[in-house]
Amino acid sequence: MRFVFVLFLCGFATACSKSKSEGDPGPGDVSDGGSFDGGSFDSGTSSPVGSTLAHVTLLDQRTSGAAESNVVATFGQVFAAGDVPANATVEGKASDGTAITLQVDKKATYADGSLRHAVITAVGPSLAAGGTLPIDLVSTTRSAASGHLDFATLAATAFDAVVTITIAGTVYTASVKPLLTGATQLWLDGPVTKEAIVTAPLKDASGNAHPQLQAYFQVRMDVNGAARVDVIVDNDWAFAPGPSNFTYDLAISVAGQPVYAKSALLHYQHARWRETFYWNRDAEPFVQHDVKYLIASGAVPNYDPSVVASETELATFGMLPAPPWDPMQIGQATAYMPATGGRIDLGLLPGWAALWAISADPRAARATLMTADGSGSWSIHYRDQVKGLPVSLVDYPYMTLLGNPEDTDDPSTGKSDAFPACTDCDSPNSSDSAHQPAFVYLPYLLTGDHYYLEELQFWTDINLFESNPAYRAQQKGLFNWDQVRGQAWSMRTLGEAAAFTPDDDPLKGYFNDRLNDNLDYYTTKYAMGGATTNALGFITDGFALGYVNGQGVGPWQDDFFTSAIGHLVELGFTQAIPLMTWKSISPVSRMTAPGFCWIQASAYDVIVRDASDTTTTLYPTYAQVYDATVDPSVKGLACGSQAMATALMLTSPDQMVGYAPSPEGYPANLQPALAMAAQFRIGDAEAAWATFAGRATPPDYSTEPQFAIVPRR
């Protein structure tokens, strides 16, 4: 089979050029006249400077009250490669052409220097209760407004935030006010808003810091003199002795007024929480993003534009409690991640986040943000007490959660990278890479909230170091030891962290290096045509061959991996192209290969070899897979016939096996992998997609659109 790879990442309101239809591009090449350059894709379709790129709408969620002037709102914004060149920035315009003041804090860029992600703060002239303010985001080379706010101004007011915890009669407190003027870790800095991350040890009356619990404040001051403060308490030191759960009474005050209290809070080991409060202002208006541009940027998958979010589902989300949410809550998530069966939280995005992405509805945002805040409730957070960052395999290449104690000995140093033993560490929340949702990716993209960035980094980090050091090649952090679905979601999360961790963050290079290590492994083993590959396009690492007594694989798990690699390519990681080309063999061939009936493309498992021993190679054709897998009473029937439908107990000759009507079924699992293969025009992928799109009983994705992904055109 011949594979031609074409990548589409079209900017909003721009036209995609037609691709060539012949030629076999080598690794890193494309066939539509675009060029890859160090991880970013130049499709030749970026908008010229001065163009309106996207629209956002400030939505006041108050039901009553006077109109407010100089309304400040901060949000995250992604951009397509090339839309905001290195010498440009973004300005705002109201629908009548009036200039809207923007502060643009650039965070992540593409290899060509163009802007990938920024945190933008807008100042709206006026906003009535329940009103809206549409804003156009326009690229410009005009100089942005200069100047910086000074925290000394805020420190001179009544503002303060104090967190108090009482453990077994001992009171520990942390206050942000004395630390404001010396804050050096700035997240936002400009004439409209200034935000700092302030570390504040929790100390008792004698000045002794708690050995495990640590407080942080994220303080955001705006041009009106008002402030937002995030109060964060971590129980996440990686190597401090005596890690444990702690039960304490919690009290938080802002400007001397109590704003939150909870008795007997059980704070799990290696977990964290945060609460957000406003001083001298109402909560910020909700920011509705431009769905078309968000999707066109390539930052999120191409969700089917014909899917309309269910009003019933949105109304259910609207009944969720408003913030502040209690510490250690988990929102929509499943506490026991290893639970089997179809789940709304699995996919490139979980279902609730996909609903937000396709609808921009504040109710879906509430469900997503509540769950994202709760992502800190799992015991997966390991922070380096010296660096203040998630622990790194570069510093501790032999640390592990799943290995034996002797596996942690580093022969180069003669020291152990073992974590201290934990006592009293039970938690109802059990993490699992094979069922790990993308809790915070979309929230970080759309809010620009530093807490969500750190959560993305922590969840990436646990996937890298949890395994036996020998299995993961020590500091390389390979994922090949895991279930295939675990490999898929770990690659997804790592790619997202590598792409959107800010350029000046110390972990940026670390995540990119680990991504390259993993892609090098898979590419060398499978995509280079050597002896370790197979003609079926199936990953065979880890627990892949765990079906049918070691002779079979689960195609749906493999489809998760294919879609994750396609997502990496859409994020601009061109080194993933050869792997995506090879991986597409599996979903495409199951729909189009001679001797394999596409009705069975979504089977739970398929037999891929004659015996279970490791020396047995996989079949070279899908006709052999079909012959070995399908019941003799079925495989002799015409593909897609009524006779086959009757034998398989399907409702229609064009219905696929595997719970076809379900948005969590195996055909739904196949859809993102097949859609990405088709958008990249790999082999017979377009014909495969056409057959798939014409199948009977497709799911109703209105309540769970996590797999409702279609090819970009």
Q: What is the pLDDT of residues 677-712, one digit of tens each?
A: 999 888 899 999 999 999 999 999 999 999 999 999
Contact 518, 464 (CB under 8 A): no
Q: What is the pLDDT of residues 196-216, one digit of tens each?
A: 999 999 999 999 999 999 999
Tokens 């971590």 correspond to: 234
Indicate if 524 and 404 belong to the same structural domain.
yes
The answer to whether residue 25 is domain-embedded is: no
Q: What is the pLDDT of residues 579-636, one digit of tens each?
A: 999 999 999 999 999 999 999 999 999 999 998 888 889 999 999 999 999 999 999 9
Contact 43, 30 (CB under 8 A): no
What residue numbers bound the domain in which 94 lies?
A: 52-145
C-alpha distance from residue 430 to each of 330, 479, 633, 690 (Å) = 12, 19, 43, 40
The answer to whether residue 348 is domain-embedded is: yes
Indicate if 159 and 62 belong to the same structural domain.
no
Kindly report the average pLDDT of the chain as a whole number.
92
Helix H or strand E segment including 678: helix 666-679
Indicate if 441 and 463 belong to the same structural domain.
yes
DSSP state of 430: B
3-state helix, strand, coil in the chain (%, to 5): 30, 25, 50
Cis-peptide into 437, omega within 30 deg: no
Indicate if 310 and 378 belong to the same structural domain.
yes
Indicate if 305 and 383 belong to the same structural domain.
yes
The answer to whether residue 576 is domain-embedded is: yes
The answer to whether residue 625 is domain-embedded is: yes
Indicate if 615 and 664 belong to the same structural domain.
yes
- Phi first, then psi: give them for residue 162, nearest 5 degrees: -130, 130
- Single out the residue of 441, 467, 465, 472 nearest to residue 454, CA to CA: 441
- 216 bridge partner residues: 199, 232
Indicate if 450 and 359 belong to the same structural domain.
yes
Contact 576, 568 (CB under 8 A): yes
Indicate if 251 and 307 belong to the same structural domain.
no
What tokens does 381 get? 């957070």
Residue 24 scores a pLDDT above 60 = no
Whole-number Å distance between alpha carbons of 188 and 218: 11
Residue that terminates a domain, selected from 112, 145, 178: 145
The answer to whether residue 40 is domain-embedded is: no
Q: What is the pLDDT of residues 36-70, one digit of tens each?
A: 233 333 333 567 778 899 999 999 988 888 888 99
Q: Report DSSP letters for 548-574, one per residue.
A: TTTTEE-HHHHHHHHHHHHHHHHTT-G
Q: How confident is the model at residue 45, as a pLDDT?
A: 52
What tokens does 284 get? 């910020």
What tokens does 477 get? 């952090």
C-alpha distance from residue 60 to each of 71, 101, 130, 478, 525 (Å) = 10, 18, 5, 46, 53
Q: What is the pLDDT of residues 171-196, one digit of tens each?
A: 999 999 999 999 999 999 999 999 99
Indicate if 237 and 369 belong to the same structural domain.
no
The answer to whether residue 418 is domain-embedded is: no
Whole-number Å distance between alpha carbons of 355 and 7: 25
Whole-number Å distance between alpha carbons of 267 and 272: 8
CATH code of residue 130: 2.60.40
Kindly provide the b/e burial profile for residues 166-179, where b requires at least 16 CB atoms within 10 angstroms of the residue's own CB.
ebeeeebbbbbbeb
Q: What is the pLDDT of residues 465-504, one digit of tens each?
A: 999 999 999 999 999 999 999 999 999 999 999 999 999 9
Indicate if 98 and 181 belong to the same structural domain.
no
C-alpha distance from residue 338 to each of 91, 226, 267, 429, 549 (Å) = 46, 44, 22, 10, 22
Burial category of 25 from C-beta neighbours within 10 Å (exposed 0-12, middle 13-18, buried 19 and up): middle
The answer to whether residue 422 is domain-embedded is: no
Q: pTM for the whole thing?
A: 0.93
Indicate if 95 and 200 belong to the same structural domain.
no
The answer to whether residue 44 is domain-embedded is: no
Indicate if 352 and 242 belong to the same structural domain.
no
Residue that terminates a domain, selected from 248, 267, 284: 284
Q: How many domains does the chain have?
A: 3
